[in-house]
Amino acid sequence: MRVTSGTHNRYPAYSGVVSSTAHDVELVLDFLNTVDVEQHTDVLDDPVRWHAWLAERDLADDPTRARPVRDGLRASVGGTEAPKPPPVSVTVELGETPELVAAEVTGAVLAAATRLAVLGEWSRMKICPADDCEWAFFDRSRNRSRTWCSMRVCGNREKARAWRERSKLS
């Protein structure tokens, strides 16, 4: 099973072992990547795309409530100051194991992020440092040292840019 599908993330997912957190990772990444810096698009600004995005996940929510949650999570991953999110509704369903569930995307995403944090996986959620990218990705490297969303694209571009700068100085 892939962590992200090709329709939601333009770069191929890591093909290693996928843990039981795959659904949480996919939901959080898809939500964080509703803004695309490179294409200058934001799913939250387009009501048709936003409702289609929600329908694919059987969720509901208002984009004005979702934006501060998304921006706050992106800031949390990127290490910048996060805006205060609105109150969200999450319930605990008791079955064989207790489970956090929510009908709204804000609650579902924050529940998924909380599960990742409790499992010690939140630090693997990263934002590509390329100014023209800023794509969210999940670092599945063993030592958690991945920097770029894609070494073939953003990493290569940055390395080429750094080489050109060093060449000018020589």
Range of the domain at 96: 22-169
Chain mean position to CA 94: 28
> Does pLDDT of 163 surpass 50?
yes
> Is 2 among the domain residues?
no
Highest mean pLDDT among 2-6, 141-145, 160-164: 141-145
Q: Tens of pLDDT along 85-120?
A: 788 889 999 989 888 889 899 999 999 999 999 999
Distance CA 16, CA 154 (A): 21
Average pLDDT, the chain: 85
Any idea what the CATH number is for the domain that residue 86 is in?
A: 1.10.3300
Is residue 13 in some structural domain? no
Q: Does residue 42 register a pLDDT over 90? A: yes
> What is the per-residue DSSP string for 72-137?
HHHHHHHTSPPPPPPP---EEE-SSS-EEE-SBHHHHHHHHHHHHHHTT-GGGEEE---TTT--EE
How many domains does one find in the chain? 1
**Rg from Cα positions in the chain:** 17
d(CA 76, CA 127): 10
Which amino acid is residue 64, in one-letter code? T
Residue 1 inside a domain? The answer is: no
pTM for the full predicted model: 0.80
CA nearest neighbour of 88 among 124, 61, 58: 61
| Res 5 pLDDT > 50 | no
Assess if residue 103 is contained within a domain.
Answer: yes
In a domain, 16, yes or no: no
Q: Please indicate, yes or no, if residue 12 is contained in any of the structural domains.
A: no
Q: What is the pLDDT of residues 129-161, one digit of tens each?
A: 988 899 999 999 999 888 888 888 888 888 888
Is residue 55 domain-resident? yes
Q: Is residue 14 assigned to a domain?
A: no
